[in-house]
A and B are shown apart, each in its own frame.
Chain A
């Protein structure tokens, strides 16, 4: 991370597990992240790599029956690991906020949007109802929603996905949080809207001065909008690097394979997209050794014997692969 940037998220060895004590299944196996103010750190990986679960764990919103543990989980300098649920609830929406994948489902379908805005604003900003109404209009202006007064009187089903995602962003950033977790913020939207919404997020990130964790499987999006990329596989970060470096000189075989699946990044001259044979192992049972070994074309006997640790190969570039250690 560049010197002089204030750290807004500092997670050390985050683990998520489910099930009772005797038969605990570990789903996220020790993820560490650092996000600076006005920086975007991306979590990428296939479905089932644990990236969304990691995002939810930062918010304390993992599904019932799961347990989250971490050496450290500091947001804006506040330790969230020691908080009770009511204390954590007061942090959510104020210091740490989230934008979800499907904006159509993220608002209560039976309440008017304005009502939901005023609920959130009176709670998180401590303003009166009439002030909340004014504030809601300002917020909608800030995310480019015109005709705010009419929009606030509508129900979610009366609006398009792009419009709703703009509203969700406005709502998430109302209290100017230190950190925003954006979980596939454009996946449910039309391709033409993706750039608009991402540009809006980047712009608001600068205005609010927050850090952002961008959870996505879209490498093109990540290449354009993230400062640092964390590639996740089977509940672990297998490669971490500044975005430019990651796309210029990836090291981990999984990262290589992942990049080859994207048309723009695949080497020129190839007219076919490649795919990674097989599918990721279940999160709770990655097998012995490196979880990617069964699908890896470079795998050796050593790969199934030990779990490789993240080790630096260049400035800010860490890889968990036995090949990189030589």
Chain B
């Protein structure tokens, strides 16, 4: 079941419940959380940290290497690479988060009734999602962009849609088990409606695995976001994004590696941080892996 709060009770007083969930977080979770937090702060404070504008052209100082003035050098238009990375983090983090949020919400909305009711509802939902999974994610994204045009919102919808089946299946599998549990049958015997049972008696058991899945999907969404931007389907130039920086820098790789290497390093570091965080969270929150560790 879900993480049981540690209950501390003295002989006379009322029960005191202390959620000490952070106890026992592994070094991976802490390092990952630290990394993610650092990138978040950097993205939020981009304007305050950097003296340059991300779009400020400086034709005189194109494709420069790292220097005191430009810590990570400049790109083919003389724009400061570090500044563009800081600003470029924003769309990555925003659309990554929004996409998974969308996937989680839609996944719960589909998976909960699918697992709880079974039969026809389940068949319809499962087949539709199978149809979605059958398409490679990139084709799916291209199709969506073709239909809706390029832009940040389209990227969110494309990634979110690609992640929906994973969330829905997870929620479905838990709802299937919960729907057969004694307390759900008892709640039905007491006259509770299906909607109420799903929200009150099934959803609480979905929350913990959902948090873990959220963390697992985050690095995937981030890579997907960067890929779509690399393909030019996301932010419109000159707005910076990590993926777009890689694709723009490609043509000038022979003259300067900085504009392409640094964004890639940032993507890698961010993905590694998120993965470590997901790993640590899973260890902490998934009771099965916890029992194994003891």
Contacts from A to B (Cβ < 8 Å): 59, 61, 63-65, 85-86, 89-94, 97-98, 100, 102, 105-111, 119-120, 123-124, 150, 153-154, 157-158, 168, 171-172
> B232 at the A/B interface (Cβ < 8 Å)?
no
Does the CB pair B182–A89 fall under 8 Å? no
CB of B192 closer than 8 Å to a CB of A: yes
Query: Which B residue sits closest to A156, measured CB to CB?
Result: B183
Q: How far is the CA of A65 from the CA of B186 in the complex (A)?
A: 19
Please tell me if B290 contacts chain A, counting CB pairs below 8 Å.
no
The distance in angstroms between the C-alpha atoms of A124 and B186, with both chains bound, is 14
The answer to whether B24 has its CB under 8 Å from any CB of chain A is: no
* Binary contact track B182-218/A, C-beta < 8 Å → 1, others 0: 1101111111111010001100110000000000000
Residues of B within 8 A of A106 (CB): 182-183, 186
Chief secondary structure at chain B's binding surface: helix
Nearest B residue to A175 via CB reads B191
Q: A120, B186: Cβ atoms under 8 Å?
A: no
Task: Convert B168-186 into 0s and 1s, putting 1 for each residue whose CB lies closer than 8 angstroms to a CB of A.
Answer: 0000000000011111011
Asked if B188 and A97 sit within 8 Å, CB to CB, the answer is no
The 3 closest A-B pairs by CB, nearest first: A93-B191, A105-B182, A98-B189
Task: Give me 6 other A-B pairs in contact (C-beta within 8 A), A59-B189, A168-B186 excluded.
Answer: A61-B189, A92-B188, A93-B190, A110-B2, A111-B200, A111-B204
Interface residues of B (CB under 8 A from A): 1-2, 4, 7, 14-15, 117-119, 179-183, 185-194, 196, 200-201, 204-205
Complex A-B: 28 CB contacts under 8 Å: A61-B185, A63-B180, A64-B117, A65-B118, A65-B119, A89-B191, A90-B191, A91-B191, A93-B189, A98-B186, A105-B183, A106-B186, A107-B186, A108-B183, A110-B2, A110-B204, A110-B205, A119-B200, A120-B191, A123-B191, A123-B192, A124-B190, A124-B191, A153-B15, A158-B7, A158-B15, A168-B186, A172-B190
User: Which of A64, A97, A150 is in CB contact (< 8 Å) with B118?
Assistant: A64
Residues of B within 8 A of A108 (CB): 183, 187, 200-201, 204
- B residues within 8 A CB of A168? 186
A146–B181 Cα distance when bound, in Å, is 29
**Nearest-neighbor residue (CB-CB) of B204 within chain A:** A110
Q: Is the CB of A102 within 8 A of B182?
A: yes
CA distance A146 to B41 in the complex (A): 54
Tell me the complex Cα distance, A172–B185, Å: 13
B191's partner among A94, A107, A111 (CB-CB below 8 A) is A94
Q: What's the nearest-Cβ distance from chain B to residue A112, in Å?
A: 10
**Residue contact A97 to B186, C-beta cutoff 8 Å:** no
Could you say which of B1, B2, B191, B201 contacts A92, with CB atoms under 8 Å apart? B191
CA distance A93 to B196 in the complex (A): 15
- Whole-angstrom distance between the Cβ of A103 and the nearest chain B Cβ: 9
CA distance A108 to B185 in the complex (A): 11
CA distance A157 to B15 in the complex (A): 13
Nearest-CB distance from B74 to chain A (Å)?
55
| A residues in contact with B181, CB < 8 Å | 105
Q: Which residue on A lies nearest to B7, using beta carbons? A: A158
Bound-state Cα–Cα, A134 to B14, Å:
20
The answer to whether B200 touches A100, judged by C-beta atoms less than 8 angstroms apart, is no
List of B residues within 8 angstroms of A63 by Cβ:
180
On chain B, the residues within 8 Å of A93 by CB distance are 189-192
Which residues of chain A are within 8 angstroms of B118 by Cβ–Cβ distance?
64-65
With the chains together, A128 CA to B62 CA distance in Å? 73
Query: Could you tell me the distance between the alpha carbons of A150 and B188 in the complex, rounded to whole angstroms?
Result: 26
CB distance B186 to A154 under 8 Å? Answer: no
Let me know if A120 and B190 touch, CB within 8 A: yes
The answer to whether A89 and B185 have CB atoms under 8 Å apart is no
The residue on A at minimum CB distance from B5 is A155
Is there contact, CB below 8 Å, between B189 and A97? Answer: yes
In the complex, what distance in Å separates the CA atom of A98 from the CA atom of B119?
25
With most chain B CB atoms within 10 A of its CB, the pick from A85, A92, A158, A172 is A92
Residues of A within 8 A of B4 (CB): 157
Q: Which residues of B contact A91 (CB under 8 A)?
A: 191
- Nearest Cβ in chain A — how far from B137, in angstroms? 33
Cα A90 to Cα B196 with chains together (Å): 13
The interface residues of chain B lying within 8 Å CB-to-CB of A154 are 15
Report A294 CB to chain B, min CB distance, Å: 32
Chain A residues with Cβ below 8 Å from B14 are 150, 153
Residue picked from B1, B118, B119, B192, most chain A C-beta under 10 Å: B192
> Residue on B with the closest CB to A104?
B182
A168 and B189 CA atoms in complex are apart in Å by 11
Which residues on B sit within 8 Å (CB–CB) of A120? 190-192
Q: For the complex, what is the distance from the CA of A90 to the CA of B194, rounded to whole Å?
A: 11
Q: Once the chains bind, are A100 and B186 in contact (CB under 8 Å)?
A: yes
Chain B neighbourhood of A97, CB < 8 A: 189-190
Alpha-carbon distance between A49 and B73 when the two chains are bound, in angstroms: 80
Output the least CB separation between B66 and chain A (Å).
Answer: 54
Given known pairs A100-B182, A105-B183, the reply for A92 and B15 (CB within 8 Å) is: no
Report Cα–Cα, A92/B196, bound state, in Å: 14
In the assembled complex, the Cα of A111 lies from the Cα of B2 at a distance in Å of 12
When C-beta atoms are compared, the residue in chain A nearest to B193 turns out to be A89
Q: How far is the CB of A183 from chain B (nearest CB, A)?
A: 10
CB distance from A95 to the nearest CB of B (A): 10
Whether B187 and A89, one on each chain, are in contact in the complex, defined by CB atoms closer than 8 angstroms, is no
Residue of A nearest to B205 (CB): A110
Q: For the complex, what is the distance from the CA of A226 to the CA of B55, rounded to whole Å?
A: 86
CA distance A123 to B193 in the complex (A): 10
Residue of A nearest to B189 (CB): A98
- For A153, the chain B residues whose CB sits under 8 A away are 14-15
Q: CA of A108 to CA of B188 in the docked complex: distance in angstroms?
A: 12
